[in-house]
Structure 1
Amino acid sequence: MAATLHRLRSWLGALVVAILLPLAGFSVATAAPAPPSADGEVGTQIVGGTRASTSTYPWVVYLATSSGFQYCGGTLVAANKVVTAAHCTVGDSASAVRVVAGRDDKNSTAGVVARVTKIWIHPSYVDATQGNDVSVLTLDRNLTQATLPIATSSDTGLYAAGTSSTILGWGTTSSGGSASRYLLKATVPLTSNATCSSAYGSDFKAAHMVCAAYPQGGTDTCQGDSGGPLVAGGKLIGITSWGEGCALAGYPGVYTRVSNFATLITQQINS
């Protein structure tokens, strides 16, 4: 993994950063996340958000281990295809991943748990800050939940600075904090490329990434939200990827720019 002080938005990614970077001689800016609390207590945020329901957002799903531990999010883009982040699936075998759909409360048995038969990761993916942070999962069955269309090259207007977008996930409600028991949502405006470049320098690659946040911070995705959707105009425009901490002023969340990968994603949907 490339050396970076930026925090991935997945549980497993954050743990890898926390463990490997000190061994490589780098300091880690933030602590590894604590596991979810046993009683499943929930804060009021993704960071800065509110409760949401899969009845309203039927295409939002989460990735879990075979033992049921939720570690990333995803978006159902076809009956048996889920788009998520490459850093959520790199190194995983398909048999080890579960996709949970139609479940607001992680402690419940609602919805359906599907197995994964194939994991596609962008062939040029190395590290989230280098771009290409996109993965497509093939499920062992067709789900009945509604799917979400992906943004394409013709959807440039959806990426305009200031566009209101929706983020969703079951991740932590503060950087390094406890995971949410329930699906949460929040609204954030897209930032300009210049704003994101100012925050992250050469790690921000406009062709591959888009950022979203309020200038003052306070609302953001966080650990456990990786791979989940950034939605605008009724389409999947981004995939939760990485950022500096969570909800910090001046450091927007960074998302994979879906329109840039629409052709490859469509190929996987049709495969």
Structure 2
Amino acid sequence: MRLLSLRLPLPLPLLFLLLPMFLLRIATGRAANDVGARIVGGIPVDIRSVPYLINLRISGNFICGGALVTPTHVVTAAHCVKGVSASRLQVVGGATLLTDATGVRRSVAKVFTPKAFNTRTLHSDVAVLKLKSPLEGNNIATIPLCNSSWQPGELIKVSGWGKTTEGSKRVSQHVRSVDVPLVSRKSCISQYKMRGTISSTMFCASLPGIKDACEGDSGGPAVYQNQLCGIVSWGMGCGRRNFPGVYTSVKSVRSFIDKALSK
């Protein structure tokens, strides 16, 4: 059986919900250099090239990525924060390195997840975090929500921190980005047949066997035409030839995001 890879080391409440269905690869350590996260086949970049990218922390420990869509709102994956109180969450912006002390930190006031989020299939895997104060500073900028359409084969940019090989136990401390081609819905559904459900809120992208996202990249942005069009969600392994990465489509969950932004 191939390993299903949620793109983060799971918070314990959600982990217990998912264990009956999936064999998960999770990091047991809580320190930043033990977290299961990475961009497969990417290159190191400076945060100035992806200023909307934030790293999300639970009780100070890196857990996921996210995208700043207004100065006080971050979009991430629901499975990163479901079951976690806002008081334990913190976002860090403007930091190229996970250990960068110059990054700007903000606490989270509220966590919004959709009622439609399914912990088994990861349908509607999206969350909005409302910050206690605006996230502003050097190398920090917002990114607009998606209003574009694309064709299979076009590229999206995915960014995050993490491992460079699937079996690695350590993450890269340096943010990385990778451009991956979009996979047709028909092809993705066929490849995941009997392995997982590609729901109406999902799309797929990867360069088989070469470029992909992986654990810990969860919640991070998938960018097309300088817009936030996807959220890293899950996949079967990482960078595997017959299993592309699966993303939440921002356009498909736009009504939920817009409602959360108004609160």
2: CA distance between counterparts of 1:19 and 1:270? 30
2: CA distance between counterparts of 1:128 and 1:110? 38
Structure 1, unmatched stretches of 5+, are: none
Matching residue's letter, 1:12: L
Offset of 1:89 from its aligned partner?
0.5
Q: Does residue 165 of structure 2 align to residue 174 of structure 1?
A: yes
201, 204, 210: which one aligns with 1:208: 201
SS at match of 1:266: helix
Structure (1 or 2) with the greater helix fraction = 1
How many pairs are equivalent? 254
Matching residue's letter, 1:174: T
Offset of 1:263 from its aligned partner?
1.9
Offset of 1:62 from its aligned partner?
0.9
2: CA distance between counterparts of 1:268 and 1:212? 27
- 2:219 aligns with 227
RMSD across aligned C-alpha pairs, in angstroms? 2.5
1: CA distance between counterparts of 2:55 and 2:199? 27
**Quick check: 163-172 or 235-244, which moved more?**
163-172
Cα distance change of structure 1 residues 223 and 27 upon mapping to structure 2, 3 Å threshold: closer
1: CA distance between counterparts of 2:28 and 2:163? 9
2: CA distance between counterparts of 1:189 and 1:258? 17
1: CA distance between counterparts of 2:188 and 2:197? 7
Q: Deviations over 1:12-69 (max 9, x none)?
A: 2699659963xx4x673x643364888x59xxx7110111121111100011122x21
Matching residue's letter, 2:205: A
- Residues 10-89 of structure 1 aligned to structure 2 (within 5 Å): 10-12=8-10, 17=15, 21=19, 24=20, 28=23, 31-33=25-27, 35=29, 46-66=39-59, 68-89=60-81
143, 148, 170: which one aligns with 2:143: 148
Matching residue's letter, 1:92: V
2: CA distance between counterparts of 1:235 and 1:179? 27
SS at match of 1:231: strand
Q: Deviations over 1:144-166 (max 9, x none)?
A: 221111114xx2x23x2111110
% same residue: 35
Q: Does residue 215 of structure 2 align to residue 217 of structure 1?
A: no
TM-score (ref. length: structure 2):
0.88
SS at match of 2:91: strand
Cα distance change of structure 1 residues 264 and 20 upon mapping to structure 2, 3 Å threshold: closer
TM-score (ref. length: structure 1):
0.85
- 1:198 aligns with 190
2: CA distance between counterparts of 1:188 and 1:14? 31
Q: Deviations over 1:71-103 (max 9, x none)?
A: 100000001000000000000000000101011
Matching residue's letter, 2:47: T
